[in-house]
Copies of this chain bind each other. A is one copy, B any other.
Amino acid sequence: MKSILSRQDCLAQDATDPLGSCRARFHLPTGLIYLDGNSLGVLPRATPGRLAEVVEREWGEGLIGSWNSAVPGSSVGAGWVEAPLRVGERLAPLLGAAPGQVAVADSTSVNLYKLLAMALALRPERRVIVSEADNFPTDLYIAQGLIAQLGGRHELRLLPAGASVADYVAALDAEVAVLMLSHVSYRSGAMHEIRALSAAAHAAGALTLWDLAHSAGAVPLALDADGADFAVGCGYKYLNGGPGAPAFLYIAARWQGRVASPLSGWFGHAQPFAFEPDYRPAPDIAQALCGTPPILGLSALEVGIKQFEGVDIQQLRAKSLALSELCIGLVESRLAGQGFVLASPREAARRGSQVCWQHFAAWPICQALIARGVVGDFRAPDILRFGFAPLYLRHVDVWDAVEQLTQVMAAEEWRQERFQTRGKVT
């Protein structure tokens, strides 16, 4: 770790940051240090204007005609019908996906259900889904619900958090249909190796399904090159698509058209507007769509994804790691002996874009920090989580956040009664 220990050093780093100009693309509330962009990303400055245009011009004036393909240079059609695949294509480079494999639709949970069902249908003779006990709960819930829906013949085999590739190799026996993992852990920030685990899964005859909620927009992804089969992810974290933004899904080209989505709604039909009596899946990635696309959410997400245009994802990763290392270094030097135990991998290559600290008073400390304008997140039972969205965070923000933390601890501010009550829901 570099030994940047003064605020001045941080300001100097920011002055030469090649991504420094990106911050101006976003609205950041005055006086707030926001280390929760991995829960809800901030508002791009371009979003309100684009949404006003969608609402007032496309909906208000264009009405039903806005579903039609847009005629370039004309006010005819807004291309709403193409939005799920158009926004998917815009996102694909961030996922390392060649065209034709990404769509935006529904929620992460719903997309996970679709793709897990499809993956299981591709391995009908196998009965096991391997995942991680510390996976984000909705992923496990969705698997449980699907297993029940399929008659209870499948089993969810959970490995502990921190299991190694070798542990997974050992768990991937001939019964395993799907390896379903979050790429980056929401709780610890630990990052799995997509390439190694996909290879291990394939060697065992299984398929992989990745939840990229905590990686897309923050860590380089190479789904195609790494051999991923299926993936889903979230639009409202690092992609800055807004609260409850639609989610995305990836189906490797080789699996498209092999099995149909169980959620066989009309937008997944080969000809949705032919109103045929029988379902006939689209031949392309549209086969994973279901109902009418949520145009307001899709439009906001499209603006969020556009903010990555021209951004070198390796530079993004370098900055994410610089911010994370800075946080680790500052906390461990300035708050030594105060009970903060690093709960994220120390090795940069095994960490996403967040740094988590285990502390017995994580809840009230988190609340005391929020009261001082530093928004981190608490994850039960005792994790203080700092997310570093490299597009808009500065080194000096990390320095200031740790300074506030130092003051919270020095004054034992977290002991105040007002910070003890559990009310926050997210």
A interface residues, Cβ below 8 angstroms from B: 27, 29, 32, 34, 36, 39-40, 42-43, 47-48, 51-52, 55-56, 58-61, 63-69, 80-81, 106-110, 113, 117, 133, 137-138, 140-142, 144-146, 148-151, 234, 236, 242-247, 260-269, 272-279, 290-298, 300, 370, 375, 377, 379-380, 423-426
Please report the C-alpha to C-alpha distance between residue A234 and residue B137 in the assembled complex, in whole angstroms: 29
What would 6 more interface pairs be, CB under 8 Å, given A40-B67, A141-B278?
A: A51-B51, A106-B107, A109-B267, A109-B292, A294-B297, A296-B300
Report yes or no: B109 in contact with A290, Cβ–Cβ below 8 A: yes
Give the most central of A144, A274, A295, A370: most B CB within 10 Å. Answer: A295
Report yes or no: A133 in contact with B277, Cβ–Cβ below 8 A: yes
Q: Name the CB-closest residue of B to A280.
A: B141
Q: Name the CB-closest residue of B to A265.
A: B109
Please report the C-alpha to C-alpha distance between residue A151 and residue B149 in the assembled complex, in whole angstroms: 10
* Shortest Cβ-Cβ A-B pairs, 10 listed: A107-B291, A145-B264, A109-B265, A109-B291, A138-B266, A243-B295, A43-B60, A141-B279, A149-B262, A244-B294
Please report the C-alpha to C-alpha distance between residue A242 and residue B263 in the assembled complex, in whole angstroms: 23
Known: A244-B292, A296-B244, A379-B275. A67 touches B145 (CB 8 A): no
Report yes or no: A273 in contact with B426, Cβ–Cβ below 8 A: yes
Q: Name the CB-closest residue of B to A381.
A: B275
Chain B residues with Cβ below 8 Å from A29 are: 60-61, 63
Report yes or no: B43 in contact with A64, Cβ–Cβ below 8 A: no
Report yes or no: B34 in contact with A144, Cβ–Cβ below 8 A: no
Chain B residues with Cβ below 8 Å from A63 are: 29, 32, 34, 36, 40, 42, 375
Q: Name the CB-closest residue of B to A140.
A: B277
Report yes or no: A137 in contact with B68, Cβ–Cβ below 8 A: no
Please report the C-alpha to C-alpha distance between residue A276 and residue B137 in the assembled complex, in whole angstroms: 7
Q: Name the CB-closest residue of B to A43.
A: B60
Chain B residues with Cβ below 8 Å from A236 are: 292
Known: A48-B56, A51-B51. A107 touches B290 (CB 8 A): yes
Please report the C-alpha to C-alpha distance between residue A278 and residue B140 in the assembled complex, in whole angstroms: 7
Report yes or no: A48 in contact with B40, Cβ–Cβ below 8 A: no
Closest CB in chain B relative to A107 CB, distance in Å: 3
Known: A51-B55, A263-B145, A423-B68. A245 touches B294 (CB 8 A): yes
